[in-house]
């Protein structure tokens, strides 16, 4: 038995013993994460469960990972959520370079490279994932994966036993309760934080709307001491990792605001390296706008049902696309061609991230009136001779593929040396013609999106994010 096998055997024994113990659920799951981390020699492990809507994985417990990383990384790994929820193992050898991973900055800040997600199943239904993280690029053997599956199964079984025990404690001993009187068997592990004030809950909803990473009351700061013991502590309401700022939300009552002002001043004096703001409702609307999230107009944002990709997500993805294009065209000088108007934000940003010589040109097209086939005509042709040149089409969104297919066929008649496509958004659900897409920013569902250059009735182009238009406004 080699070293890894021996460690896995000992870890399984430890997990089985802990599973039969009286540890609280979160401590039990952390013990499992710790055993898995040490057994296969990785840097961290987390246990995540689906939230109530099934849209996100919520970190329940972790070992070896910072709190903000274990929480926010799972919220942002939407690229693999569908695969995991289908019961598939997802392995990312290098999350900093993998095009599927839409938040490489996150893992870079934590120092992680390789990530492996193992689905957790309960009676055939996937309820979450066991995620392992490594700061060095590595592979995971079949034996290691089998070990993680076994650990995951033990975690699910033990969690069910804990919930069953809690349920049995609530059933009357005289057996007079009928089925309708029994409490529902639900898990509180993945429940959202219990906010101390409605204003905090409102602010959290706003942060979620703009897809901003947040942690609720993540750290307490000692403000006064008595004989080396902290006599007064201050716990800011929120921390936003993306902009490295703590936020304390105030109420309208002056006595509360004055006390918080005193604590904030004290904290700034004792911890000058900490960035903290005291905000009322008007203030936190303004601070979101300052960091590029807030509304450009209240009416405009009210038209948005939800945000698909925040400004930070878009800029990070565009940066990675620019790096990849620079690498692929290292010994060439590509000509970037954009189709007006929707791509103007994307094209302006991606050219700034391409580090090799390039040139640009533009086309404009329109559909023939009353033509349901989607036929198009060119209203502005390219100005450069593209024969023998390396052409990279820059698109804002590809849905049916009919327009792009027409343009590609047209450009091909000019005999370029190469012809590829880079699109910010790929709406596969609407595809009618299978056009080749060499570079893709994000895949999106079949919904009408606006922002970052995309419009509806020539509005919303200047929104810094990409959002879904409210259904009642979608007249397409």
CATH number at residue 114: 3.30.450.40
Judged against a pLDDT cut of 80, whether residue 221 lies above it is answered with yes
User: Beta 215-216 vs 221-226: how paired, if at all?
Assistant: unpaired
Question: pLDDT: is 2 or 349 the higher one?
Answer: 349
Whether 320 and 373 map to the same domain: the answer is: yes
- Which domain covers residue 255, as residue numbers? 198-294
Q: What is the pLDDT of residue 361?
A: 94
Highest mean pLDDT among 30-39, 261-270, 375-384: 261-270
Whether 271 and 123 map to the same domain: the answer is: no
Q: What is the mean pLDDT of residues 123-151?
A: 86
- State both tokens at 182: 């029994």
Count of the separate structural domains present in the chain:
3
Q: What is the pLDDT of residue 439?
A: 94
Domain boundary among 152, 169, 186: 169
Does 178 reside within a domain? no
Whether 462 and 319 map to the same domain: the answer is: yes
CA proximity to 33, closest of 62, 58, 4, 59: 62
- b/e burial code for range 185-219 (CB count within 10 A of at least 16 → b): eebebbeeeebeeebbbebbebbebbbbbbbbebe
Q: What is the pLDDT of residue 334?
A: 95
Cβ pair 295, 346 in contact under 8 A: no
Residues 6+ apart with CB under 8 A from 117: 77, 80, 84, 89, 90, 91, 129, 130, 131
Average pLDDT along the chain: 78
Whether 59 and 159 map to the same domain: the answer is: yes
DSSP line for 84-138 = HHTT--EEES-TTT-TT-S-HHHHHHHT--EEEEEEEEETTEEEEEEEEEESS--
Q: What is the pLDDT of residue 299?
A: 46
Whether 421 and 387 map to the same domain: the answer is: yes
Cβ pair 335, 356 in contact under 8 A: no
Does 191 reside within a domain? no
Highest mean pLDDT among 81-85, 125-129, 132-136, 251-255: 132-136
Q: What is the pLDDT of residue 12?
A: 82
Does 130 reside within a domain? yes
Residue 439, CB-side half-sphere exposure with 13 Å CA sphere? 26
Residue 219 DSSP class: -
Does 381 reside within a domain? yes
Which residues are marked as active site? 399
Whether 464 and 326 map to the same domain: the answer is: yes
CATH number at residue 443: 3.40.50.2020
Asked if residue 341 has a cis previous peptide bond (ω within 30° of 0), the answer is yes
Q: How many angstroms separate the CA atoms of 337 and 326, rounded? A: 16
Judged against a pLDDT cut of 70, whether residue 391 lies above it is answered with yes
- State both tokens at 359: 């040139």
Does 301 reside within a domain? no
Whether 140 and 207 map to the same domain: the answer is: no
Does 181 reside within a domain? no
Highest mean pLDDT among 2-6, 130-134, 173-177: 130-134
Does 299 reside within a domain? no
Q: What is the mean pLDDT of residues 89-106?
A: 74
CATH number at residue 256: 3.40.960
| Phi-psi label, residue 362: left if phi above 0, alpha if psi -120 to 50, beta otherwise | beta
Q: What is the pLDDT of residue 94?
A: 86
Cβ pair 46, 162 in contact under 8 A: no
CA 202 vs. chain centroid, Å, equals 21
Is the full-model pTM beyond 0.95? no
Q: What is the pLDDT of residue 70?
A: 67
Does 287 reside within a domain? yes
Whether 371 and 434 map to the same domain: the answer is: yes
Q: How many angstroms separate the CA atoms of 354 and 349, rounded? A: 9
Q: What is the pLDDT of residue 224?
A: 87
pLDDT tens string 6-35: 888 888 887 777 766 656 666 777 888 888
Q: Position of tokens 């204003």?
A: 199
Whether 403 and 364 map to the same domain: the answer is: yes
Cβ pair 126, 87 in contact under 8 A: yes
Cβ pair 33, 120 in contact under 8 A: no
Whether 341 and 258 map to the same domain: the answer is: no
Q: How many angstroms separate the CA atoms of 35 and 57, rounded? A: 21
Whether 277 and 405 map to the same domain: the answer is: no
CA proximity to 336, closest of 254, 411, 253: 411
Whether 107 and 209 map to the same domain: the answer is: no
| 397 beta partners | 425
């Amino acid at each position: 038995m080699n070293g890894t096998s021996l460690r896995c055997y000992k870890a399984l024994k430890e997990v089985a013993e802990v599973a039969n113990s009286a540890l609280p659920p979160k401590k039990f799951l952390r013990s499992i994460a710790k055993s898995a981390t040490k057994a296969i020699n990785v840097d961290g492990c987390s246990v995540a469960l689906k939230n109530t809507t099934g849209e996100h994985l919520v970190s329940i417990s972790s070992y070896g990972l910072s709190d903000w990383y274990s929480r926010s990384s799972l919220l942002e790994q939407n690229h693999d959520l569908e695969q995991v929820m289908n019961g598939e193992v997802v392995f990312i050898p290098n999350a900093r370079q993998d095009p599927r991973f839409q938040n490489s900055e996150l893992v870079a800040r934590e120092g992680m490279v390789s990530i492996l997600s193992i689905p957790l199943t309960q009676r055939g239904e996937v309820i979450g994932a066991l995620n392992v993280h490594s700061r060095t690029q590595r592979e995971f053997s079949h034996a290691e994966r089998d070990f993680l599956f076994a650990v995951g199964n033990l975690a699910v079984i033990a969690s069910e036993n804990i919930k069953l025990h809690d349920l049995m404690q609530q059933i009357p001993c005289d057996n007079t309760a009928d089925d309708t009187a029994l409490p529902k068997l639900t898990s509180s592990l993945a429940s959202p934080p219990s906010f101390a004030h409605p204003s905090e809950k409102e602010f959290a909803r706003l942060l979620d709307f703009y897809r901003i990473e947040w942690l609720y009351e993540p750290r307490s700061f000692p403000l006064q001491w008595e004989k080396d013991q902290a006599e007064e502590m201050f716990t800011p309401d929120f921390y936003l990792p993306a902009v490295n700022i703590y936020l304390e939300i105030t109420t309208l009552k002056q006595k509360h605001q004055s006390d918080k002002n005193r604590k904030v001043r004290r904290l700034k004096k004792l911890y000058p390296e900490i960035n903290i703001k005291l905000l009322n409702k008007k203030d936190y609307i303004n601070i979101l706008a300052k960091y590029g999230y807030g509304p450009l107009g209240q009416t405009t944002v009210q038209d948005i049902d939800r945000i698909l990709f925040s400004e930070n997500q878009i800029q990070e993805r565009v940066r990675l696309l620019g790096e990849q294009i620079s690498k692929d065209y290292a010994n060439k000088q590509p000509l970037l061609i954009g189709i007006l108007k929707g791509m103007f934000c994307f094209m302006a940003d991606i050219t700034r991230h391409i580090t090799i010589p390039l040139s640009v040109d533009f086309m404009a097209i329109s559909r023939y009136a009353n033509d349901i086939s989607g036929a198009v005509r060119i209203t502005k042709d390219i100005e450069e001779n593209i024969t023998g040149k390396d052409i990279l089409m820059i698109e804002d969104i590809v849905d049916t593929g009919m327009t792009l297919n027409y343009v590609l066929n047209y450009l091909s008649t000019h005999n370029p040396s190469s012809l590829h496509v880079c699109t910010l958004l790929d709406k596969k659900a609407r595809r009618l013609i299978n056009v080749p897409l060499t570079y893709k920013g994000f895949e999106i569902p079949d919904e009408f999106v606006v922002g970052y250059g995309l419009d509806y009735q020539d509005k919303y182009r200047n929104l810094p994010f990409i959002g879904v238009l409210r259904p009642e406004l979608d007249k397409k």
